[in-house]
Each structure stands twice: as structure tokens, then as C-alpha cells.
């Protein structure tokens, strides 16, 4: 997710908008509910495969769905050099730009909290939402955007090593620790041993921090754990993912040949995948998306580089662009689709049922989610297309 794309109309790369649109589509496509279809058709390996890649890995591992949030964060970094150059070309001063950055970060944080509070009886103060995580780290990313590429790599190393060391130094739970009290069955198959045990679900540093931090806010009941294991402190390594994107954005703006740029993306992707895998198999820093471990920063970052390389090569090098237009429409208004997906999905379904009959979707049998979800996605896209034609781009 990035809020910067509409700021650099001239000279923008269509591949960036298409990549952003692709991951936003994957997010919105949750309405197709492949998991429900798979449960209805348990013997189908096809639907089981699709269901796996439309859900998050339980703890270890990676699905296509797990790459959505890293791509959001990565593309924020990719867009930043373009945004800074655009603002400087307009004569904006450093102080004015930084105040604008702080305002943008605050809006992202508050918007994330608002969306997480929809349907609840009181404000749900939680900070693991994608927008909130980006908002917490964005001012630091922006400041690093004015430093050298070398400084960016050093900052990434400091974040990775520092975050890893903080987890390792946090003591492991004692023999009397109740995993059931924090929502984790004692015989949960994803319990790790050795050094990797410092990254176990709801018994790690990030969990401990949230049991203090989140209880500083008004709550209906005391915060004890996050059911998915997600944590506020993940914004720190998420900044690392954004820094990887920042380096990619710098390469895109540098005067490199297409061949050299493509080669750099491929090498960065391969190094990220290999190093993330190595940290996982050795147990040093296993790749876990839910708490954004250093291993996950590298592994998911590798995939982000490869995906950007693929979109860049097909769209901006080979100039095969027509197929990507639907994705570009989505990618140019990522804040809008993010809010639509969180706010009006049920309204759209209920409206169709009201005017076309309550059983309009049920007649499709086990494929009902495809029918209802498909109509929701179509309405989302038509709204975004209207905004695109009217040149309405939601910024924060």
C-alpha cells in the first residue's frame, strides 16, 4: 500500500501501479472465499490449493496472500524517491515536507484504527493494521530518503540485527507458562525449540510489549494476546521492508540500462529468498510473517524484488501494457480500494439481494462465494474506474 503514487503523474512507471493494483486486488479478492468453497468440495485439490494461497500461513511458511502486506510496504519505499524529487522540483522546503510527512503518518495510523474499529462498540486501539504499521515507520523512511544509498543499507542492517537481538535477549517462558492463557494450545505444532523458540507465538518480546502498551488505551477488557499473534512492534522490521523498496526506487531513478536494472532486481530477489530461507532452516531467525521477523523481511523482500522485476520487464521494457489497465485503475487509488474492501462489502451484497431476490447468489450452490464476491469486485472496480476517469485520487 502506498499513498504516494498520485504525486508523480509525469514520468511514473506503469509497472509500479500495476504491481500495486495486483496486490490490492488480491486483498479485495478475499470476498471470493476460496476457503469456503474448498470446505464444500473437500476432495478438490484445485480449490484446496487456491484456499491455501488466499489465507495466511498459520505461523511458519508463506502463501501468496502473505505477500500482500510486504508488497504494500515495499512499494511505499519504491515510490518515495519519486515523491521527494517531485516535491523538490516544486520548491518545497525540507521543513514543510517533513510536517506534511508527519501529518500523513498520523492520518494513516488513525485510518487504520478507524477501519479496525468498524462494527465495534468502542474504538479498537490496535496497531498491527497495514496502514498503521506503515504510518508508524514512514517518518523514519522519509528521513532516510534524504541520506545516501549506503546509509540506507546500514540502517537496514541495524534494524534487522537490533530487532533480532532484542527478541533473543528476551527470556523464554518458564515451565509454569500457560500457552492456553494466551490463545496457543500446548501441543500446537508450530512450537519451535532452541534459538527459534524466542519467536514462538504470544510468548515473545513483541507480545510482552503489547500486553503493556495496548492496555494504556481504553479497552472493554484487558488485552492479553492477539489471536493471530500480530504485534505493534512489527512496524520496526516493516520499516526494513520499506527500506528495501527505497533502494529499488533509487535504482529505478538511476540512469541504468534496462538490462542492468533487471539484473539487480533478480540478484536482490535471489539473495533475499536464499538468506531468508537460510535463517529459517538454521533457526537463527525463522521467517514468520505475523511478527515480521528479520528472516521474513529478507524472504518476503526477495519476492517483492522478483515481482517488481516481472512487472517492470513485461510492462515498461517489453511494452505489453493493455492487459494491465484494470490493475492500473486499482493501483492508482489504493487507499480507496482499501477502504471500500473494509467498509461496503456487505452493503453491496445486501443491495443485490434486496433488488434481485434474497436467493440470487445461493442458486450457484457451492460456488455462491464466486457469484457474490465477483459482483462485489465488479462494483469496486467500477467505482475506481469512475474515479480514474474523473481524476479523483484519494491522498492522505
Taking the model in full, what pTM does it have?
0.93
Going from the C-alpha of 344 to that of each of 32, 114, 180, 263, 348, the distances in angstroms are 15, 14, 35, 42, 6
pLDDT band at 12 (very low <50, low <70, confident <90, very high): low
Extract the C-alpha cell encoding 385. 474506474
Closest CA to 155 of 270, 291, 246: 246
What residues form DSSP beta bridges with 60? 288
Report whether pLDDT(2) > 80.
no
Three-state secondary-structure class, residue 60:
strand
Within 10 angstroms of residue 35's Cβ, the number of other Cβ atoms is 17
Euclidean distance between CA atoms 179 and 185, whole angstroms: 6
Q: Is 156:244 a contact under the CB 8 Å cutoff?
A: yes
Beta-strand ranges (E) seen in the chain are none
Residues 157-213 pLDDT 10s: 999 999 999 999 999 999 889 999 999 998 899 999 999 999 999 999 999 999 999
Q: Is 259:93 a contact under the CB 8 Å cutoff?
A: no
Residues 311-352 pLDDT 10s: 999 999 999 999 999 999 999 999 999 999 999 999 999 999
234-260: average pLDDT: 96
Q: Is 206:233 a contact under the CB 8 Å cutoff?
A: yes
218 Cβ partners below 8 Å, 6+ apart?
Answer: 122, 123, 125
Amino acid at each position: 500500500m502506498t499513498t504516494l503514487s498520485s504525486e508523480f503523474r509525469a514520468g511514473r512507471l506503469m509497472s509500479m501501479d500495476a504491481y500495486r493494483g495486483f496486490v490490492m486486488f488480491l486483498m479485495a479478492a478475499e470476498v471470493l472465499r476460496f476457503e469456503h468453497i474448498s470446505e464444500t468440495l473437500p476432495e478438490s485439490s484445485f480449490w484446496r490449493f487456491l484456499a491455501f494461497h488466499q489465507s495466511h500461513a498459520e505461523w511458519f511458511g508463506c502463501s501468496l496472500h502473505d505477500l500482500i502486506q510486504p508488497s504494500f510496504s515495499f512499494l511505499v519505499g519504491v515510490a518515495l524517491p519519486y515523491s521527494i524529487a517531485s516535491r523538490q522540483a516544486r520548491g518545497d522546503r525540507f521543513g514543510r515536507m517533513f510536517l506534511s510527512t508527519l501529518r500523513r503518518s498520523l492520518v494513516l495510523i488513525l485510518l487504520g484504527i478507524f477501519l479496525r474499529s468498524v462494527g465495534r462498540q468502542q474504538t479498537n486501539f490496535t496497531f498491527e493494521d497495514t496502514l498503521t504499521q506503515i504510518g508508524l515507520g514512514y517518518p523514519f523512511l522519509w528521513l532516510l530518503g534524504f541520506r545516501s544509498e549506503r546509509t540506507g543499507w546500514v540502517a537496514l542492517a541495524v534494524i534487522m540485527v537490533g530487532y533480532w537481538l532484542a527478541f533473543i535477549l528476551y527470556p523464554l517462558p518458564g515451565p509454569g507458562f500457560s500457552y492456553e492463557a494466551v490463545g496457543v494450545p500446548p501441543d500446537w505444532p508450530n512450537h519451535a525449540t532452541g534459538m527459534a523458540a524466542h519467536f514462538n507465538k504470544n510468548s515473545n518480546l513483541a507480545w510482552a510489549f503489547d500486553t503493556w502498551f495496548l492496555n494504556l488505551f481504553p479497552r472493554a477488557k484487558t488485552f492479553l494476546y492477539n489471536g493471530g499473534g500480530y504485534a505493534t512492534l512489527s512496524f520496526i522490521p516493516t520499516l526494513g521492508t520499506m527500506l528495501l523498496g527505497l533502494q529499488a526506487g533509487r535504482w529505478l531513478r538511476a540512469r541504468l540500462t534496462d538490462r542492468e536494472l533487471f539484473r539487480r532486481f533478480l540478484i536482490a530477489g535471489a539473495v533475499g529468498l536464499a538468506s531468508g530461507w537460510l535463517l529459517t532452516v538454521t533457526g537463527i531467525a525463522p521467517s514468520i510473517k505475523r511478527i515480521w521477523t528479520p528472516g521474513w523481511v529478507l524472504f518476503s523482500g526477495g519476492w517483492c524484488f522478483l515481482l517488481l522485476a516481472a512487472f517492470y520487464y513485461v510492462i515498461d521494457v517489453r511494452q505489453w501494457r493493455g492487459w494491465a489497465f484494470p490493475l492500473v485503475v486499482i493501483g492508482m487509488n489504493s487507499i480507496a480500494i482499501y477502504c471500500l474492501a473494509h467498509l461496503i462489502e456487505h452493503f453491496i451484497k445486501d443491495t443485490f439481494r434486496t433488488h434481485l431476490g434474497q436467493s440470487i447468489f445461493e442458486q450457484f450452490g457451492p460456488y455462491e462465494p464466486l457469484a457474490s464476491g465477483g459482483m462485489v469486485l465488479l462494483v469496486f472496480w467500477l467505482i475506481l474506474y469512475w474515479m480514474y476517469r474523473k481524476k479523483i485520487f484519494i491522498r492522505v
